[in-house]
């Protein structure tokens, strides 16, 4: 596989097979983010669980201490007072059945997060097959089905992330931008890792945290020596 000059230089700047302490891994990741745009810093955690088993799922939400650096566009499906509260809290788009029709008829997905009230889930459920594959289906576990829509909107805007296992037992999650600097990235890293450790299923056996890797959008992966799990 042919790689770019900057990527090749980045790979040579550290020991690829070595697992570094958190602070050093963060610094290497930032130093190897050489793109001209503000790269996203991502955390990838491989867990010793079986994602096929219902009692070994790992999923949760967390408001990162320093946010994600990305402004998310929020659509709220609600009526009456809840709709007014969502608008006041800073929701980008607020509506009800007409927004569901727009998604259904126009294949419109110009939003990052959908939040709704429990009484509107019947309406939202009509387009579940459209929202589900895109990861946009509201869910009580992620805090996106709630009567307190104002709080939900505020949390998303403040930098709430959802972490969940994929089919290969790996969690992938953004933890900020290169411009954050090492200290803020490390704070977000520690907060997310603490949450993942606390979310360990009772049914999980053996080593829980198998591997931890940091990477930037265009940079190589840097292994982290993390043994709290």
> DSSP string of 77-115?
E--HHHHHHHHHHT-SEEESHHHHHHHHHH-----SEEE
**pLDDT for position 123:** 95
Other beta carbons less than 10 A from residue 202's beta carbon: 7
Regarding pTM above 0.85, the answer is no
**pLDDT for position 142:** 87
Cα 41 from chain centroid (whole Å): 11
Task: Give the chain's residues under pLDDT 50.
Answer: 229
Identify any residues that bridge with 223 across adjacent strands, giving them in sequence order: 213
Structure tokens, 17:
């097979």
In the three-class reduction of DSSP (H, G, I as helix; E, B as strand; rest coil), residue 75 is classed as: strand
**pLDDT for position 5:** 67
> How far is residue 138's CA from residue 10's CA, in Å, rounded to a whole number?
39
**pLDDT for position 227:** 76
**pLDDT for position 179:** 96
194 neighbors 45 (Cβ within 8 angstroms):
no
Phi, psi (rounded to 5 degrees) for 96: -135, -125
Cβ partners under 8 Å of residue 226, min gap 6? 22, 193, 209, 212
> How far is residue 70's CA from residue 98's CA, in Å, rounded to a whole number?
28
**pLDDT for position 17:** 84
**pLDDT for position 3:** 54
56 neighbors 204 (Cβ within 8 angstroms):
yes
């Amino acid at each position: 596989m042919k790689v770019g000059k900057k990527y090749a230089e980045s790979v040579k700047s550290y020991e690829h097979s070595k697992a570094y302490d958190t602070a050093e891994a963060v610094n290497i990741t930032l130093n190897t983010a050489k793109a001209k745009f503000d790269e996203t810093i991502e955390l990838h955690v491989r867990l010793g669980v079986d994602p096929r088993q219902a009692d070994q799922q790992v999923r949760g939400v967390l408001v990162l201490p320093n946010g994600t650096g990305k402004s998310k566009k929020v659509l709220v499906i609600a009526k009456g007072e809840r709709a007014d509260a969502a608008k006041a809290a800073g929701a980008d788009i607020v509506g009800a059945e007409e927004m569901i029709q727009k998604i259904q008829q126009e294949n419109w997905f110009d939003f990052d997060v959908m939040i709704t009230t429990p009484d509107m889930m019947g309406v939202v459920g009509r387009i579940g097959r459209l929202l589900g594959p895109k990861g946009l289906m509201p869910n009580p576990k992620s805090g996106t089905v709630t009567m307190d829509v104002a709080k939900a909107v505020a949390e998303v805007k403040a930098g709430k992330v959802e972490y969940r296992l994929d089919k290969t037992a790996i969690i992938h999650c953004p933890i900020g931008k290169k411009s954050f600097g090492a200290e803020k990235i490390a704070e977000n890293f520690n907060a997310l890792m603490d949450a993942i450790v606390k979310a360990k299923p009772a049914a999980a056996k053996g080593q829980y945290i198998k591997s931890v890797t940091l990477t930037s959008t265009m940079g190589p992966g840097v292994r982290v020596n993390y043994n709290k799990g």
